[in-house]
Amino acid sequence: MGVLAQLGLILAVGALSAALTGLLRRYALARGIIDVPNARSSHALPTPRGGGVAIVLGTALALPALWAAEVIAPAQLWALLGAGGAVAVVGFADDHGHIAARWRLLAHFSAAAWALAWLGGLPPVPFLTALQMPGWVGAVFGALYLVWMLNLYNFMDGIDGIAGVEAVCTGLGGGALYLLSGHPALSLLPLVLAAAAAGFLCWNFPPAKIFMGDAGSGFLGITLGVLSLQAGWVSPQLFWAWVILLGVFVTDATMTLLRRLLRGEKLYQAHRSHAYQHAARHFGRHRPVTLAVAAINLLWLLPLALGVGSGILDVLAGVVLAYAPLVLLAFRFRAGAAEKQ
């Protein structure tokens, strides 16, 4: 696929996603699929949800074209379509009517198992060699990794624009990683995902006209997880570079979960105790927090990820440098702390 064809595909996916998001907004308003503010909400006005389906459709429609152009292998095509599609369908159903947490979790683990089967399991990643043994250890760890990526993305989709901005930044970063590491053809898939998220972001950037919904956030979470594992099969350093790119979401969601566990809270109960939610209340608006996430991703995490991915920076040093300030920042904005009444 030539450069002009690649650029055309990226622009087409972005435009399609933006147009579909507008149609989904009209659909949500007509069907009454509205997020009504409550005590656990971070927004003040009733807002339609489900716009993330545009990201799903824009990406899914591009995948066969990428396969036909031999940009992705059949195994990657089926891993992404099967896992991402299943998660999106369950999320779409949950957006329309509540599905019990146990059934959602079963679907999530099934999707993770599907993806791992097509990818060939976990890649041989440094510092995880003990988990490369055949059998249940590696399979369980891989499934837990993908399910956590899926759910943390859902947890972090709580203020206007933040999940879309994270997807755009990570997709652009993943594309840059492949370009600089000598795998230019592989850069197209993350760039397509970034374009789909950017199209949706036209409607979701603060103040949001439509929310992403579980279909979109779940799809993005497992897709980014699969892409990070795929990168590990290309080069072990690239896996850790993707982990660095996702650092803001991983740090906030993980620290919040651990502190809530220590307090004995129910993990499935809605809350507003993530660092980004505390920060949004501190500043009184969503936009400064969303823009700060974009700045951290592009100005701090991306250079470190590029250093690790290209071999200039040691993996352990790069991960520590990337995450140490994020942990401090999460503590500063009280990640996982109970909301003050």
pLDDT digits (tens, 9 = 90+) for 234-254: 999 999 999 999 999 999 999
Q: Is 157 annotated as belonging to a binding site? A: no
Rounded to two decimals, the pTM is 0.95
Assess if residue 338 is contained within a domain. Answer: no
Lowest mean pLDDT among 37-41, 117-121, 226-230, 287-291: 37-41
Dist CA 224 CA 296 (whole Å): 18
Asked whether residue 337 is assigned to any structural domain, the reply reads no
Q: Quickly tell me which residue has 């450069």 as its tokens.
A: 3
Q: What is the mean pLDDT of residues 30-35?
A: 90
Instruction: Quote the pLDDT of residue 96.
Output: 85
Distance CA 214, CA 93 (A): 9
Q: 3-state DSSP call for residue 48?
A: strand
- Would residue 218 count as lying in a domain? yes
Question: Measuring CA to CA, which residue among 285, 263, 264, 266 is closest to residue 276?
Answer: 285
Return the structure tokens found at 227.
């892409």
pLDDT at 175: 97
Report DSSP state, residue 299.
Answer: I
Q: Does any domain span residue 341?
A: no
Residue 301 C-alpha from the chain's centroid: 15
Nearest alpha-carbon partner for 91 in 257, 222, 201, 286: 222
339 in any annotated domain: no
The pLDDT of 284-290, averaged and rounded, is: 96
Domain that holds residue 266: 3-332
Q: Does residue 340 fall inside a structural domain? A: no
Maximum distance among all Cα pairs of the chain, rounded to whole angstroms:
57
Residues 252 and 176: their CA atoms lie apart, in Å, by: 25
pLDDT of 124? 79
Closest CA to 153 of 141, 138, 163, 161: 163
Cα distance from N-terminal residue to C-terminal residue, the chain:
57
Residue 162 — φ and ψ, nearest 5°? -70, -40
Query: Could you give the number of structural domains in the chain?
Result: 1
Could you give the CA distance from residue 337 to residue 299 in angstroms, rounded to a whole number?
28
